[in-house]
Structure 1
Amino acid sequence: MISQESEPSEPSQNKPSLAVLLALLKPFYFQYRYRLLFGFLALLAVDFLQLTIPLYLKQTVDILKNGTATSRELLRIGGFLLLTAAGIMALRFTWRVLIIGFSRRMEAHLRARLFAHVLAMDKSFFDQHPPGDLMAHASNDLSAVQMAVGMGMVAAADALVISGAALVLMLYISPFLTLMAVLPLPLLGLSAWFLSDRLHTRFDQVQHSFGLITEFARNSMVAIRLIKSYTREQQQARAFGELGENYVAANLKVAVVQGLLFPVAILVGNLGMLLILYYGGKLVIKEAITLGDFVAFVHYLYMLIWPMMAVGWVTNIAQRGFTSLARIHRLLAARSRLENSLPAVGANPCVRPEHPLQYINGQAQGPAPTVPYRKKGVGGEYYKEFSARFRSDPVISLRALNFSYPHHHKAGASSLTGISLDLRPGILGIAGRTGSGKSTVCRLLTRQYPVSEGMLFFANQDVNSLAPALIREQISYVSQNPVLFSSTIAENISLAVPDASQEEIEAVAKLAGLHADIINMENGYQTRVGERGLRLSGGQKQRLAIARALLADRPVLIIDDALSALDVETEQQVFAGIRARVTGKIVLIVSHRLKLLSGTDQVLLLDQGKAVALEHHEHLLLHNDFYQAMAEKQQGRGR
């Protein structure tokens, strides 16, 4: 079964307080305070007009019973009713536009904030939160919050005003009847209190289940060719069906709670109506109240029944919104393990090595760094100064670099131990057994994971004193599995340089050995590559990613085994294009192919997370057993 590498985190038992969650929405309420003010004024006006209708009915019934009704009087009352209905219609439209519009704007702002927050997170965060889980937050959770702050808030306010005003008017007509009407209300309050917490827990499970099913569907669509090639369609459909059944079961548990809330609310309202019909009828017979009073009282009781029923509905919406907002809060509360803030001037002094390190028996040897460097300037000026300095003299220093993946990372992941070296302009090959730490080095250089202070330096400054985005702006990175967008070839190549000219795009495509393939396609550079480059071969994807990196023209180029899908001849053509483009730049090429490594300036050998050699290709062929074994195997395959 093809499934996600990790599952969305289980529903948390630590619920943030209501004050904490409301603080998340407070900026939106403040920003749209005038819209909300006028919206609620319109809502209150609607409620006031609705409360006048029973008074018109009371007046009509009384004059009819007393025999004092005239056509003119009835027309007058009918005209007032018509005007009231028109006012209700206009004001109801107004509050819907203002308040529901606010909830939609709040949803859009919160979604944008959530998206921006996710973009700023490090690799560890994405190891814990697969795309399906994040999509559930951005869809179902935000919709639940929008409903709670939209119709939920309106229903709550409407029910509060209507019930309060109706009770006052009912008390005015008959305190005794009012007491009879509210006698069943404690039953509703106890039911809502008992069921609300269970509704919160069960809806949390619904959202968690939705995240699982979304992630499974996403993975299945991405891996559809693999699923078909292994004829796993039935197994995937069966697994998806099981997830769907779990999702339905979770929703049914929520429906059980909802199914209890609504009938209880209706039961309470009808019990009150039953008491009013009995005792109210007796009062009319005794002429303690007029028939008009009785009719008006019944209408006010109907108005009171709506808030009773709304208690269940509002409780349901509020609990869903609270649960979803708590999930969003937990996501927004997550913090990147990478340092994003720049230190004060003079903080985190970095040191410049006087001489490059050398390796003797696998151990780094060299003088201790002695020349301190302190950063100058802040904000944008410092960014410009750092970028200019690094581009003019790119130097990356690793000092006893140690690293272990977070505990939630996939089992058996590589770690690094005591790696020390200087990376200067030139082409460095990186080789080693599977799991020796080659890709880990690349991930740390691109700031996907945090490193301790004093271990990694760019332009003689500790990376922990630099924003990760500033480091990444210096690096073009080509991963083992290039990511392509479902757009044109030209747009994919120019990802880092959107305003690149057609000539510039074609120039790097030629260096990457891809231009001839592109011009033979139906639409040339305007050919759409499909989802994740579906229409391209593995080698074409890798060469397109190489062209993209070359066009970015950054001081550091890292190619993490991204030439593996090429034949030897094409590989050498691409390598020649890379060498022609990268003068004065730091280039790291992870590869197992000795033909490619032989063209590099030096080769770094890693073994079990340790650097065991840093030498020229020819030297390693003569003196390194592992390298010699690699050469013998590849020569054997060549024969």
Structure 2
Amino acid sequence: MSRTPAPEASFVDLLCPIFHRFRFRLLFGLIALLASDLLHFTLPRYLKIGVDELAQGIATQQRLFVLALYILLTAASTGVLRYSWRTLLIGFSRHLETTLRDQLIAHVLSMDQTFLDRRPPGEIMAHASNDLSAVQLAFGMGLAAAADVVVMSIVAVLFMLQISPQLTLTAALPLPLLALSTLLLSHALHRRFERVQAQFSLLTEFARNTLISIRLIKGYTREEQQISEFGQLGRDYVAFNIRAAVIQGLLLPVAMLTGSLGTLLVLHSGGQMVISQVITLGEFVAFISYFAMLSLPLATVGWSTGIIRRGLTSLARISRLLAAESAVKASLHPTPQTSILQSRPHLSLRHLSFVYPGTITPALRDIDLEIGPGILGISGRTGSGKSTLCRLLVRQYPVVEGSYFFAGHDVNQLELNLIWQCISYVDRNTSLFSGTAAENISLAKSDASLEEIMEVARLAAVHDEIMAMSDGYETRLGEKGLRLSGGQKQRLAIARALLADRPILIVDDALSALDAETAQQVFAALRTKQRGKTLIIVSHHVQLLAHADYILLLDQGRISEQGSHAQLLAHSPYYRPLG
């Protein structure tokens, strides 16, 4: 098993390509920030000149007007530059958010079923919403504020040193307090923000489950319990946020205390230096102005630290998700696929066994099986391994090398997309999305014409029911096909598979919600459409299995019996009662 990289290493790997892609935006943003801060720090110099000339009695109205004009132009230029760097740097954060979201969705779509079994959809939704928002804020306003603090602090200190190194050192005496407190509080913030984001994932998953199970909840009158449980999750989320806010709230007062202590020291020491004529009154006023400019960004250290720490915590969560590897791996040296796609692939299982991750009991044991063109029926008691076998055939889970051969090639040496392009899989838990009926049917063939969609809908015996809907094939079906019955969902999924028209079609108990007559009608269409190809039908109905060329009976993950319908009907104690 590969070791998950450290978060810091992941950050570098994750962010470097994005920073490189937008390097010019960042460069110009930083240049504009540096220029605006440099211009901003020239203002106290004009103030120093004016105060010194007034103190010496050499100031004129014209001279003061020129200084005021310089101040006005400098302030205007600073405003333009400040707008520019904020637009460039905060705009970068939006590009960063979009890029990470695209990477996250692409990564999730590339993962196998094992990954999805470990991470509920609500957790992934929390990554794509709350975590990404925190990252965007951290690398937008947080990064801009932090950069501003660094640049303004350096420039302010340089100007202050130019006036008086001694007074600058005096003003810096409280700064170690700020640095130490920020460091300690930042570590505590990371732990508490991690808990906040994890709780938000639980909250999101609970809300998602509630919405998709709303009819079940109402059917069992569990509204009050759901409201109570959701309320408790919400209260825990608030409590964790308050715990984080307690730490975050300490940062600003500490920064302000540091600034106030520094101001007190500057007034005391600087006033004595003016009285002793070590510095002029104008230099003292300029120094106070520079220190005030330094104090403002220092006061935002707590705020920006909190935002950046929260963003880094969320980035670590996203990084861990993106670092997860699929257990079903694409081959490093894939077999050329052109000939396979043009053939009617033969499937071969040799001593195939499988154990679900996190369990000990094998779901499949020592399966030997040859599957070619024709109809293969599979039956068996509940939990005997029928669906597991189907999922392995479509490569939702990893298989041991040398146990599954596709068109004569070990599946571990084939591209995953190749197998997915050759097999259509319809299970009893039909997956539909909230688009139209036509969009759901044409999922695997987005350029299909309405005539093609209607043809497969007729074969699946669902055309008349779609036409009876308010907008026909343009009727929106609702989340997971909420507006459809179980049988309509299954027939819509069958129509989708027929439209895909692939060499292998697996129907995993996906006719279970149909009455016997409709099931026979749909199965007859499947046999016609798949003639010369491979059709695998999992069912408990002997009326359907009777049309299979060969039938397997599974028991506790093993092939217990096999043969034709007539053979099993004559000799199988399990199969005979089905008839």
- TM-score, normalised on structure 1? 0.87
- Structure 2 matches for 1:254-265, cutoff 5 A? 254-265=244-255
Moved more, 330-339 or 163-172: 163-172
Query: Which residue does 2:374 correspond to in 1?
Result: 426
Amino acid at match of 1:303: M
> Which of 316, 322, 325 is 1:326 aligned to?
316
Q: Does 1:491 align with 2:439?
A: yes
| 1:329-385 deviation digits (Å, cap 9, x = unpaired) | 2111111111213426xxxxxxxxxxxxxxxxxxxxxxxxxxxxxx5xxxxxx2222
Query: Which residue does 1:388 correspond to in 2?
Result: 342
Query: Which residue does 2:234 correspond to in 1?
Result: 244
Q: CA deviation at 1:171?
A: 2.1
Moved more, 291-300 or 45-54: 291-300
Amino acid at match of 1:399: R
Query: Which residue does 1:372 correspond to in 2?
Result: none
The separation in 2 between residues aligned to 1:482 and 1:19, in whole angstroms, is 41
> Which of 393, 403, 408 is 1:445 aligned to?
393
Cα contact 1:16–1:326 (8 A) shared by 2? no
| 1:69-108 deviation digits (Å, cap 9, x = unpaired) | 2221121111111111111111112112222122211221
Query: Which residue does 1:317 correspond to in 2?
Result: 307
Q: Does 1:231 align with 2:232?
A: no
Q: For 2:233, what is the secondary structure of its paired residue?
A: helix
The separation in 2 between residues aligned to 1:493 and 1:128, in whole angstroms, is 29
Query: Which residue does 1:365 correspond to in 2?
Result: none
Provide closer, same or farther for how the CA distance between residues 22 and 321 of structure 1 changes in structure 2, counting only shifts above 3 A.
farther
Query: Which residue does 1:217 correspond to in 2?
Result: 207
Q: Does 1:34 align with 2:24?
A: yes
Cα contact 2:33–2:82 (8 A) shared by 1? yes
Query: Which residue does 2:271 correspond to in 1?
Result: 281
Provide closer, same or farther for how the CA distance between residues 176 and 338 of structure 1 changes in structure 2, counting only shifts above 3 A.
same
- TM-score, normalised on structure 2? 0.96
Cα contact 2:101–2:128 (8 A) shared by 1? yes
Q: For 1:301, what is the secondary structure of its paired residue?
A: helix
Query: Which residue does 2:99 correspond to in 1?
Result: 109
The separation in 1 between residues aligned to 2:236 and 2:546, in whole angstroms, is 55
Q: For 1:625, what is the secondary structure of its paired residue?
A: coil
Q: CA deviation at 1:17?
A: 4.9
Amino acid at match of 1:209: Q
Query: Which residue does 1:119 correspond to in 2?
Result: 109
Q: CA deviation at 1:319?
A: 1.9
> Which of 130, 147, 150 is 1:157 aligned to?
147
Q: CA deviation at 1:21?
A: 1.5
Cα contact 1:401–1:420 (8 A) shared by 2? yes
Q: Does 1:594 align with 2:545?
A: no
Query: Which residue does 1:568 correspond to in 2?
Result: 516
Structural RMSD (CA)? 1.7
Amino acid at match of 1:404: V
| 1:205-227 deviation digits (Å, cap 9, x = unpaired) | 11111111111111111111111
Q: CA deviation at 1:511?
A: 0.8
| 1:280-323 deviation digits (Å, cap 9, x = unpaired) | 22333343322222211111111221232233233223322222
Cα contact 2:25–2:89 (8 A) shared by 1? yes
> Which of 414, 420, 441 is 1:472 aligned to?
420
Cα contact 1:429–1:604 (8 A) shared by 2? yes
Amino acid at match of 1:385: S
Amino acid at match of 1:384: T
Q: CA deviation at 1:176?
A: 2.8
Query: Which residue does 1:517 correspond to in 2?
Result: 465
Cα contact 2:527–2:535 (8 A) shared by 1? no
Cα contact 1:152–1:318 (8 A) shared by 2? yes
Query: Which residue does 1:508 correspond to in 2?
Result: 456
The separation in 1 between residues aligned to 2:439 and 2:155, in whole angstroms, is 62
After superposing on structure 2, the runs of 4+ consecutive aligned residues of structure 1 that deviate more than 4 Å are none
Cα contact 2:86–2:144 (8 A) shared by 1? no
Query: Which residue does 2:348 correspond to in 1?
Result: 397
Q: CA deviation at 1:146?
A: 2.2
The separation in 1 between residues aligned to 2:441 and 2:471, in whole angstroms, is 15
The separation in 1 between residues aligned to 2:490 and 2:477, in whole angstroms, is 13
Amino acid at match of 2:535: V
Cα contact 1:342–1:466 (8 A) shared by 2? no
Query: Which residue does 1:538 correspond to in 2?
Result: 486
Amino acid at match of 1:476: S
Moved more, 287-296 or 589-598: 287-296
| 1:230-273 deviation digits (Å, cap 9, x = unpaired) | 11111011111111111111111211111111111110000111
Cα contact 1:493–1:547 (8 A) shared by 2? yes
Provide closer, same or farther for how the CA distance between residues 243 and 285 of structure 1 changes in structure 2, counting only shifts above 3 A.
same
Query: Which residue does 2:405 correspond to in 1?
Result: 457
Amino acid at match of 2:349: L
Q: CA deviation at 1:493?
A: 0.7
Amino acid at match of 2:486: G
- What is the aligned-residue identity percentage? 57
Amino acid at match of 1:599: H
Q: Does 1:168 align with 2:158?
A: yes
Cα contact 2:353–2:367 (8 A) shared by 1? yes
The separation in 2 between residues aligned to 1:600 and 1:271, in whole angstroms, is 88
Q: CA deviation at 1:19?
A: 4.3
Query: Which residue does 1:25 correspond to in 2?
Result: 15
The separation in 2 between residues aligned to 1:265 and 1:438, in whole angstroms, is 65
Q: Does 1:417 align with 2:407?
A: no
The separation in 1 between residues aligned to 2:5 and 2:416, in whole angstroms, is 32
> Which of 171, 184, 187 is 1:181 aligned to?
171
Q: For 1:421, what is the secondary structure of its paired residue?
A: strand
Cα contact 1:400–1:418 (8 A) shared by 2? yes
Query: Which residue does 1:307 correspond to in 2?
Result: 297
Cα contact 1:339–1:465 (8 A) shared by 2? no
Query: Which residue does 1:625 correspond to in 2?
Result: 573
> Which of 31, 36, 45 is 1:55 aligned to?
45
Provide closer, same or farther for how the CA distance between residues 395 and 617 of structure 1 changes in structure 2, counting only shifts above 3 A.
same
The separation in 1 between residues aligned to 2:159 and 2:84, in whole angstroms, is 27
The separation in 2 between residues aligned to 1:133 and 1:518, in whole angstroms, is 35
Q: CA deviation at 1:425?
A: 1.3
Cα contact 2:40–2:78 (8 A) shared by 1? yes
The separation in 1 between residues aligned to 2:578 and 2:263, in whole angstroms, is 89
Moved more, 273-282 or 227-236: 273-282
The separation in 2 between residues aligned to 1:17 and 1:337, in whole angstroms, is 21
Amino acid at match of 2:479: E
Cα contact 2:421–2:502 (8 A) shared by 1? yes
The separation in 1 between residues aligned to 2:435 and 2:138, in whole angstroms, is 37
Q: For 2:209, what is the secondary structure of its paired residue?
A: helix
Provide closer, same or farther for how the CA distance between residues 180 and 342 of structure 1 changes in structure 2, counting only shifts above 3 A.
closer
Cα contact 2:7–2:320 (8 A) shared by 1? no
| 1:374-398 deviation digits (Å, cap 9, x = unpaired) | x5xxxxxx22222113x3xx31111
The separation in 2 between residues aligned to 1:523 and 1:141, in whole angstroms, is 39
Cα contact 1:342–1:467 (8 A) shared by 2? no
The separation in 1 between residues aligned to 2:508 and 2:578, in whole angstroms, is 19
- Structure 2 matches for 1:327-406, cutoff 5 A? 327-343=317-333, 375=335, 382-389=336-343, 391=344, 394-406=345-357
How many residue pairs get matched?
Answer: 576
Provide closer, same or farther for how the CA distance between residues 123 and 565 of structure 1 changes in structure 2, counting only shifts above 3 A.
same
| 1:587-620 deviation digits (Å, cap 9, x = unpaired) | 1111111222222222210000000112122221
